[in-house]
Amino acid sequence: MMIECELCHEWYHGKCLKIARGKVKEDEKYTCPICDWRVKIPRDAARPKLEDLVAWQEEIQTLPFQPEEEELLRKIIDNAQAFRTHIQAYCNPILTTASEAETQRFYLRKIEGAEVLLVHETNFFRQELHKWSPVAPEPPPILECSRSTRKPRPTKLQKMLAQR
């Protein structure tokens, strides 16, 4: 099942947004998390900040062993930094105009779909989109970190205690 945002007309998988097929009515309006910052993007885990990944990579040299994932970590960091460089021109508050809102929305969609959090860019695009086409009465809060939206599951011990 696909669902369309009434504002940007982008289509999303209902499964990706954790929207059950039976919960969506034919005439119901949907606003996506890119257009309305108050709509949560379902995440099973928090995303690490690029800066944290770089710090971890630097710490690898001090470890008494070299993890097998070192090369993978380097590739993830390189890709995230290359993307950051690519969108840097769109993150200048002095040069941006309302005509760039669609481009900003496009890049915010890419950033929000990534497994690495680009804090500055996420905050910049969210603030700019609110400025050009506000949906919420207040601007989005400044994000410092990523959080999981998954409901915490009870541990085995908690389940056992609850059964008593």
Residue pLDDT, tens place only, 109-135: 999 999 999 999 999 999 999 999 999
Residue 87: per-residue pLDDT: 96
pLDDT of 72 above 80: yes
Greatest C-alpha distance within the chain: 63
Residue spans of beta strands (DSSP E) within 15-79: none
CA distance 74 to 70: 6
Res. 37: pLDDT tops 90: yes
Question: Average pLDDT in the 14-27 region?
Answer: 79
Q: Is the CATH number 3.30.40.10 carried by domain 1-32? A: yes
Q: Which of 114-123, 138-147, 152-161 has the lowest mean pLDDT?
A: 152-161
Domain boundaries, the chain: 1-32, 42-157
Contact 56, 33 (CB under 8 A): no
Residue 21 pLDDT class (50, 70, 90 cuts): confident
The whole-number pLDDT of residue 104 equals 95
Residue 14, classed as helix, strand or coil, is coil
Residue 22 carries which side chain, given as an amino acid letter? G
37-40 long-range Cβ contacts below 8 angstroms, 24+ apart: 37/126, 37/130, 37/135, 37/136, 37/140, 38/135, 38/136, 40/149
Q: Kindly state the average pLDDT of the residues 19-36.
A: 83
- From residue 108, how far is each of 60, 93, 155 by CA, in Å? 31, 15, 35
Buried b (16+ CB within 10 A) or exposed e, 110-145: ebbeeebbbbebbbbbbbbbbebeeeeeeebeeeee
For 59-73, what is the HEC assignment? HHCCCCCCCCCHHHH
The rounded mean pLDDT for the chain is: 90
Whole-prediction pTM: 0.84
CB atoms within 10 A of CB 32: 22
Higher pLDDT among residues 15 and 138, named by residue: 138
- How does pLDDT run across 80-113, given as a tens digit for each residue? 999 999 999 999 988 888 999 999 999 999 999 9
pLDDT of residue 66: 85
